Structures are given as structure tokens and as C-alpha cells.
Structure 1
């Protein structure tokens, strides 16, 4: 599908927490129109579409995909719908951005990578954390050799919205979200970021998974992410993990990752540190506009986001001058901008490589997740095959 420099019309599948966030980020671009929304029912779709002033509402994502006005499909639905929705969109000749995980299994994600390649359509997975300006700076510093030889990468991702047994969401159920909940939801972001920053890929894993609440109280009705509700409840057995600890090998680099959705007080905190032979750096999602730089032979530094002090490739991601913070919403606008500008430049036909995570990156995370599950079940190191 050739779009060129015209306005781009998008249909969004999913009206929960993240779908509206995608709508807001696309509207900031100035050349993207959200023309359709699909949700779990016609009533829900119409209500949400009216709230966001989206002209068309569909109770079926297949109807949205068939809409001739929709040129690009944004998949922000529960995980179980990712694979069939993405496949249908590609087969209909539409470019696709999909929330992570790309699919429920690596077999499904491999099929989607192959299909995207065969069609020549532009594909992306929403690993938006790459687009914090100071994480772009961290990547540039590592690439320019400022840290020397990289020895280790470590950190984690913590939330508390599933701390109580009355906290519930479709992600708790493996049938809806996949066998790995916290690793798939939070760990996939962190693992993508660790590989993005270091330029290395995960080659082996040793994992332990924890389910602290084997029984949760499921409400009789749907619950959006991070929402609290007062509904009648039924106790159900939990078949996904609440937390995980993973040791990593990225070639010669060693790493550790800890992820949890039961860390009281941590609302949404990713943290990553990279240690090298000359310097270290650390970024904390609770303070996303600061980058700590550690030295052995001179004072440590705290770089506050300032495009004039950053490498050119990192400064290009920042949209605001010094003193004006950029956060979660800005990262979504940045990844959407990269994706849609690539479409306008006619994708791979432009001769340029994508500057955003593609289905290849999404598939790699599915493969790593498979190995993490196998490692936890077998209590041993598992080598990660090339993806």
C-alpha cells in the first residue's frame, strides 16, 4: 500500500487502557487520522468511539480490517487477539502496529514475521521504552564506546496493581494473555531495552517464576488494566506468574532481570544499569529525564535531559527543550512518529532500515519467553536459538 505524503487513516483495535493511549499519540503527529475503533462489543465500541470522537465503531475487529477507509491497523487488544488480528490485517494489505506480545506463541509470531516479509508491508511492535530520549542517549554512548567493553546489564520492572487477591485482569489467565504474564507484560519491555542498549542479543537464560497468590477473586464482569471495581467475585486458580527472576547471557555480557506486579508502592518502575570497563550508566523510570553516569577515576555525573548535551542521534528523539520533561505519552508519540514517517517514505522501498522495533524484534521476545518458561520448568540454563 503506497501512502506517500498524504494523510494516513488508521483503525484501532482495542478500547481498554492502551488503545486510547495509542489514539492520543497518533493524533499528536498531525498527519494521522483515527477513523475507526473496534472493541469487544458494538455497544462498547460505540461508547468509546463517541468519547474519543472517532467516526466509526465496530464490534468486530474483522469488520474494521475490511473497512476500505482503514489504511493502517493498530492492534491494542488483549493478547489472545493479536495473532488473528495482525494476520487478517496483513492479508488485507494493511500496515500494522501491534502491542506486545506480538503473538501468544513463537510459532505464531514466526508466521507473522514471514507474512509481513512476503507482503512488504510495514510492521512494528510497541516497545515504546526505547523512545525515552535519555535511553536513546544511553544507546548512543554505548555505541560510541563511552563505557568501554560492556560487562553487565541488570535491573528490572516493578508494579503493584496486582498486589491483592481481589486485583484481577484478563492477563491473569494464561488462556487470554499467554502462559507468561509478568515476563510477557513487563519483562518483554526490559529484555528488548537491554538488547537495544547494548547491541547484544540474549543467548542463554536461567529463570525462576513465582506465583505468590495461587487463588484470586475474579469479578463477575470485565475489568480494565489498573482499574478497581466492586463486583461479586468467584475464587479462581491462577496459572500465570506474579514475579520472575532471570539470569541472562548476552554473548560475553552477563545480566539479571527481576520483574513483579506485586511490589507495593511501585506503580510503574522500570530500571536498567549497564556496566562497562570505563564507565557505567543507570536509568530509572521513576526519574526518566535523568541519566546517571558512573566513573571510577573522576566524579560521577547526572545528565538531565538536554538535547544540546546529547549525541545527535539521541537529541533527534527529544521533542522539547531543556527543562521540559518527556514521559510515557511522549514515548508513544515518538514510536508512532517513526512508524508512520517510515510508511510515508514508502517503507523498505525507501532504502532505509526501520528506526523502530519491528515484528522481528517482537518474535525475538516470544522466543526468549519460550526459553524462560522452559528454564523455569526444568530448573536449568537454556540456550536461546537465533530468531
Structure 2
């Protein structure tokens, strides 16, 4: 079998996660790594057993052997690398956000349509088996009409005023931070599972630490003798958003990066006219179902119990739990299935550049709402 040849630009945490997930497929080979310098590229390539190293991504894109590019770089680099990848005729799987602005996202979305390449955004929470179960329960009207949608995404890695990261700097992370970093996952997941569109938002945000302190190494201060530098913070630590959906349903979402004890606490709650369903990323192997006239129940990840359309997302017997790394592997599987078979688009569980563009438009509406203090309409792609 001919192997698809891929390259990863950016070999930090998420780049390495992409690499591991790709290698589980068996029919895709990562042949090149791209980094910010030749030295770093060669170091990563050697440690990760990748044959080619590029210190300049434009040189990497000139490599005719490479068919697919994974953009795993910091946010501010996404637009130009994504654009050049498409212009060089290579399939693209990008980390979110697609770009830092909606105008750039629109340009990439239209360019991808023109080039007719396989593209995707890594909203990998769509790929969990129990998310697929919940989505299919909604499709089959098991919950009745969805009327209330609640969700949250809570973390604590920026709890202290001595916690600092490049994502806090608007020129690198964008005009919003918690919203674009984790809120985008929440908004995408809810719209995907319910097949409803967010149409209006009313938002409130807070910069819990208007001043933070970085060490002399421009990072989190962990040493008592660090020389601390004071930095003014312009992006939010917390945001809550009231939401209206295309079917008239209402919702509320909260994102925070300063909630102690919450590590990666993504949760969605769907309240239908028949029953309710809850999925938590930190307990991904189960759904909690609620009813008025009978006891609540827990549905576990068991191939013998789930809906048929959810089964392609399961790979192990019940009790052998599948988590975050498996969701990423599912992303790669469904993305590369389209590349290998020359499909026009991947399965709908792979978020498209259109979805990435829509996420930016939601972000824009939230920013407008914070400034105006009123409901703001979300432009639809």
C-alpha cells in the first residue's frame, strides 16, 4: 500500500500529539518536521525519528513528496502558513483558531473552496464515542426538541498572577484568549452535536489579573529568586455568554482559565422536552441522562449498547476506555480517509474551514457584545 506523506509544522505539545495519532493509522508517514530554525528542526526530527528537517516552512512547502501539512504552530502563524499550504496545493489540517481575524478566516475558507483540497480544523472533541452517541440521540429525537443548552470549559493553569504565557499577548494569541483558546471548542461542539446554529450572544468577561508577573525568562515564575517583570493583561481570564439558537432554544456558556481544580473540564448539557443529556470531557466514557418520570441513568461506552452510527468511533471493548488521544486519532482517521480515497470532503466529524470561519464570527459577535452591553447577532457563513 502506498503511504501518504505528511509534514508537521510546529513540534510542541500539540504537534507531538498529531504525530503520535498519525502513526497509529499505519498508512501515513510523517516525512518532515518544520520549526523556527534549522537547528531546532534538526533536533526535533532526530528525537522524533523523522527523516527531514526544515527551518523555514516555505522550503518545506516546496518539497514535492509532502502531500499533507499539519499546522501546529502558535496562533499568530496560522493564517500565513495555512494560506501558503493551500497555495502550494497541499491538503491541510490546522490547529484552531484558523486565523486571528474573521477577514483572514474568510479568505482561507474561500481559497480552500477554490483549490478543492481536503482541509480541516482540529476540533477533536467531536470525535469522542460518547459525543457521537449523544449527537445521534439528538438526531433520533431521543431527547425531544432541544430547548436549553448549557456548557462550560474550565481550567486553572492561569490561576495565579505569576502564571504567564504567550497566549496572553494579543499580537500572538488574538483579541480574545479564553474564548478563542477553549471557548471555540465549546461553541463548536454544541453546534455540532445539536445541529443548531448560534444566532445571537450577550456576553460579559473579566480580566481577573489585570497585572501579571513573568520571570526573567518570560514565562511562569517558579523560582523564589526570579526577577519578576510586570505585564499589563488585555485579554480575558473568564467569560460568560447568554446564547440564542436557530430553533429558538436558549443557552449559557462559561469559560475560565482561573478556576482552581479544573484541569480540562469541558462539559455540555442538553435539555430537551423529553430528557436531558450531559457529557463531560474528564469523564468521556459515559453520558448522564435525566428524566422526569423515571430514574436518571448512565450510559457507558459499550459497543453493544451504543447507536450504530457511533460505532466507527469506538475501537476497543467496553471497559477499555478511550480518551483524548483516541479522539485525536479518530480525527486523523477520518481526515486521512478522505485524502486516501480522494473524497471531496472528510466525514462531518472533521471540522471544516467553514466551521473555523464561523467560530471567528461568533468570537466577533461576543467582542461586540462586551463593548455594547447588548445582544449582538452572529453573522452566518
Same fold (TM > 0.5): yes
Q: Would you say 1:213 and 2:209 are equivalent positions? A: yes
Corresponding residue for residue 141 of structure 1:
137
Normalising by structure 2, we get a TM-score of: 0.96
Bigger mean CA deviation after superposition, 209-218 or 327-336: 209-218
Out of 175, 179, 186, the residue aligned to residue 179 of structure 1 is 175
3-state SS of 1:347 partner:
coil
Corresponding residue for residue 76 of structure 1:
72
Normalising by structure 1, we get a TM-score of: 0.95
3-state SS of 1:48 partner:
helix
3-state SS of 1:331 partner:
helix
Q: CA deviation at 1:196?
A: 0.7
3-state SS of 1:266 partner:
coil
CA–CA distance in structure 2, aligned partners of residues 98 and 210 of structure 1: 29
Bigger mean CA deviation after superposition, 45-54 or 188-197: 45-54
3-state SS of 1:152 partner:
strand
Corresponding residue for residue 384 of structure 1:
378
Out of 238, 243, 248, the residue aligned to residue 243 of structure 1 is 238
C-alpha contact 2:91 2:119 (8 A) present in aligned 1 = yes
3-state SS of 1:316 partner:
helix
5+ residue gaps, structure 1, are none
**How many residues get paired?**
378
- In 2 relative to 1, CA 364–23 (structure 1 residues): closer, same or farther, beyond 3 Å? same
Q: CA deviation at 1:167?
A: 1.3
Out of 62, 65, 89, the residue aligned to residue 66 of structure 1 is 62
Q: What RMSD over aligned residues (CA atoms) do the two structures have, in Å? A: 1.5
5+ residue gaps, structure 2, are none
Alignment of 1:34-53 (within 5 A): 34-53=30-49
Out of 275, 280, 283, the residue aligned to residue 284 of structure 1 is 280
1:285-342 C-alpha deviation (Å, 9 max, x unpaired): 2211010011111111101100111111111111111011111100000011100001
Corresponding residue for residue 229 of structure 2:
234
1:22-55 C-alpha deviation (Å, 9 max, x unpaired): 1111111111111111122222222222221111
Q: Would you say 1:260 and 2:256 are equivalent positions? A: yes
Q: Would you say 1:358 and 2:352 are equivalent positions? A: yes
- In 2 relative to 1, CA 30–353 (structure 1 residues): closer, same or farther, beyond 3 Å? closer
Corresponding residue for residue 374 of structure 1:
368
CA–CA distance in structure 2, aligned partners of residues 39 and 218 of structure 1: 25
Q: Would you say 1:93 and 2:89 are equivalent positions? A: yes
1:38-88 C-alpha deviation (Å, 9 max, x unpaired): 122222222222221111122222222222221100001000000000000
Corresponding residue for residue 200 of structure 1:
196
Alignment of 1:109-188 (within 5 A): 109-188=105-184
1:344-368 C-alpha deviation (Å, 9 max, x unpaired): 110218xx86441110111100000
- In 2 relative to 1, CA 188–67 (structure 1 residues): closer, same or farther, beyond 3 Å? same
Bigger mean CA deviation after superposition, 87-96 or 284-293: 284-293
3-state SS of 1:192 partner:
helix
Q: CA deviation at 1:233?
A: 3.6
Greater than 6 Å deviation, 4+ residue runs: none
